[in-house]
Structure 1
Amino acid sequence: MGGFFKLLKGGSQSSLTAAIVNFIISGLKGGAFVLTGNVAMFAEMMHSLGDAANQFFVFIGSALSKKSPTDRFPFGFGRLVNLVCLGAVIIVAILSYETVKEGIHHIMQPGHGAMSTRNLLINLGVLGLGVILEVGVLYKAGKEVLQETNNNYKGLAPLTSAFVHSKNAKPATKLVFMEDTVATVGGILAIIAILIAQFTPFNIAEGIASVIIGLMMFYVVYKIFMENAAGVLGEHAPEMEIRVSQILFSNEHIKDIQRLFVLKEGEDLHVEATVELNHHLTLKEVDDIREQLTDIILQQHHVTDVNIEFKDNDGVQAWPERADDMDHRMPGQNGIFKHHN
């Protein structure tokens, strides 16, 4: 049991924080829906509840994925986080459907228009508080995105530049960031819809908002499903392959790369390479080259395992870019490579 709790400490903290916050928000929105019967509030309640359940499962999955390899599973549990994400999006998909259905029902049969001042204040108060809390979670997730991608995370950067770098973040962090982006936008949209329905004859505004929120949730389902399905199957990481090839060619003794692939398993990257060397090198020199290159590659983001094999140069260029055409600056100089701790 102690080992299980130790694993939980290594889970995605942004997922855990988001799950707790969204459970609280869903309870507040559920209470407001019971008191007011507002359809936009129902959509937001379902959205927050789906996010909370999703993020909790992702937290558990991200923690268990760090479990050490066993005799039965010698390659570890890295892909477990992808499996959990795939299961979690099923919950969001069901709630998305219910949200869209309820919105369409309200559009077809709109309510009575303006609500009482008491109900208006309840809805706006709960939604406003929800948006504030969601922005806090979004900021934390954005900060983790920038930390994981080795970018500056000060000031408003987690709410601005994190969108550009989120595609390179860990699966769990990316999911939380995407879900809370939609949750924040959905909360603001619900507030606008309630105000429109309250002060104009456009009574179907809340139903339209509910449909839009549901469709945004479906978009998250699609993105997360496609990315994690690829992770479960085991996908290659082309950007890291380019970076690793540059690192390999940065050594003057590397003349060609016969084979190179970077396999992505969950949050981890595994590097396999076969390279060609000059004939005259001693075994000690080859071992030194292997150690130097392995250390540099392991410092790249998410890389956990490196296997480099050496062969004599056969004089036939197999890699698309020749070593003589590469920029031979060592990693870390002039910003070509960044070391990730």
Structure 2
Amino acid sequence: MKDIIALLKKGSGASLTASIVNFFIAAIKGSAFILTGNVAMFAEMMHSIGDALNQFFVYVGSGLSKKAPTKRFPFGFGRLVNLVLLFAVIIVGILAYETVREGLKHILEPLPVETDTTMLLINIGVLAMAAILEAFVLFKAGKELLKQADQPFDGLKPLTTSFIHMDRAKPATKLVFLEDTVATGGALLAILAILIARFTGFSQAEGIASIMIGIAMFYIVYKIFMENAAGALGEHDPRMEQRVSEIVLRHDEIRDIRKLFVMKEGDLLHVEIVAELDPDLSVEEVNAIRDDIEEMILKQRHVVDVNTEFEVDDGHRAWPQTQNELDKKPKK
């Protein structure tokens, strides 16, 4: 039990925060349903419960994926987070389908516009509170995303520049960031639709807003599914491969890189290198170069192991880098 708790402490903080906040939002919407008897608010409550359970499941999966390798699973459990997220997007897909279906229903069979001012204020108040809470989670997720991307996260950057660096975030953080982007925007869009329906009589506005939110959720399903399907199969990391190549080629004794592969295992990275050396080096010099390279690479974020092999320079350049760039290597 202590081992499980220790692993959960390593889980995605953004997922846990989002889960707690969504349970709280569900409670608020449930209270509004009891007060108003609004069936739409009941549906919103169930939607928030679904989000909360989904994000808690992602939190648990992201923590368990940190479990150390075992005899049965010698490569570790890193890809577990990819499998968990594939399951999570199925839930998001179901919610997206229901959201679009309800939107179409409201367009084809529009409900009477709410004229009771008290009920209107309760509905708008609940949605406004939900928007504020979701924006808080979005800010936290954006901050965590920027930390993982090694970018500054001061001021409003978690709500602005985080979108630019989203592809460099951990899978669980990315899912929470996208979900809460849609949730925050969706709550504001729902408020706008209610006001349009109330003051113009165009009751189909709420249905249109629902469809727009559902389409945005389907985008999340597509993006997260494609990325985590690749991760579950075993995907390389080209950005880290470039960084590792710079570390390797800074040694003047290394003539070329014959093979370099950085494989993602969930949040973790495994590095494989085959480099070509000056044939005149001694064994001691080769070992010193290997130790220096592996020490530098293991300092990179998310890298957990490095396997380095050396071959004698064959005189043919294999690594796709220009000779001009190689000539610019800093001298020792």
TM-score (norm 1): 0.92
SS in 1 for 2:164: helix
Shift of 1:254: 0.8
8 Å contact from structure 1 (residues 250, 328) kept in 2:
yes
CA contact (8 A) 1:273 1:308 kept: yes
Pairwise mapping of residues 181-192 of structure 1 onto structure 2 (< 5 A)?
Answer: 181-192=181-192
Aligned counterpart, 1:75: 75
Alignment of 1:80-159 (within 5 A): 80-159=80-159
RMSD (Å), alpha carbons: 1.7
| SS of match in other structure, 2:242 | helix
Equivalent position of 2:56 in the other structure: 56
Q: Which residue of 2 aligns with 1:18?
A: 18
Residues 102 and 39 from structure 1, CA distance in 2 versus in 1: closer, same or farther, beyond 3 angstroms? farther
CA distance in 2, matches of 1:44, 1:255: 61
Separation in structure 1 between the aligned mates of residue 271 and residue 229 of structure 2, nearest angstrom: 21
CA contact (8 A) 1:39 1:102 kept: no
Q: Hey, what does 1:335 align to over in structure 2? A: none
Deviations 1:171-191 (A, max 9, x none): 111111111111100010011
1:41 deviation in Å?
4.2
SS of match in other structure, 1:319: coil
8 Å contact 1:171–1:266 — kept in the other structure? Answer: yes
| Identical counterparts, % of pairs | 61
- Give the residue type in structure 2 aligned to 1:56: F
- What CA deviation, in whole Å up to 9, does each residue of 1:225-275 have, x standing for no partner? 111111100111112112211221111111011111111110011110100
Asked whether 1:162 is paired with 2:165, we answer no
Q: Is the deviation greater in 156-165 or in 241-250?
A: 241-250
Moved more, 82-91 or 26-35: 26-35
1:295 Cα shift? 1.4
- Specify the SS of the correspondent of 1:272: strand
Offset, 1:223: 1.0
One-letter amino acid of the structure 1 residue matched with residue 316 of structure 2: V
Q: For residue 223 of structure 2, what is the aligned residue in structure 1?
A: 223
Instruction: Note closer, same or farther for the CA distance 1:307–1:324 as it changes in structure 2 (3 Å cut).
Output: farther
How many angstroms apart in 1 are the aligned matches of 2:130 and 2:148?
27
Residues 195-249 of structure 1 deviation map (CA, whole Å, 9 limit, x = unaligned): 1111112111111111111111111111111111111001111121122112211
- For 1:305, the aligned partner's letter is D
C-alpha displacement at 1:323, in angstroms? 5.7
Q: Which residue is equivalent to 2:329?
A: 328
Structure 1 residues 29 and 165: alpha-carbon distance in aligned structure 2, compared to 1, 3 A threshold? same
Q: List alignment gaps of at least 5 residues for structure 2.
A: none
Structure 1 alignment gaps of length 5 or more: 331-341
The alpha-carbon distance between structure 1 residues 329 and 153, as it changes in their structure 2 partners (threshold 3 A), is farther
Structure 1 residues 109 and 76, CA gap change in structure 2 (3 angstroms): same
- 1:246-257 aligned at under 5 Å gives the runs 246-257=246-257
Quote how far apart the aligned CAs of 1:36 are: 4.0
Match of 1:333 in 2: none
Rounded Cα–Cα distance in structure 1 between residues aligned with 2:313 and 2:329 = 19
Counterpart check, 1:197 vs 2:190: no
C-alpha displacement of 1:279: 1.0
Which structure 2 residues correspond to residues 287-298 of structure 1 after superposition, within 5 A? 287-298=287-298
Count, aligned residues: 330
For each residue in 1:30-71, what CA deviation from the matched residue of structure 2 results, as whole angstroms up to 9, or x when unmatched?
443454465764664454333212211110000000001100
Provide the residue aligned with 1:334 in structure 2: none
Q: Aligned-pair distance for 1:317?
A: 1.4
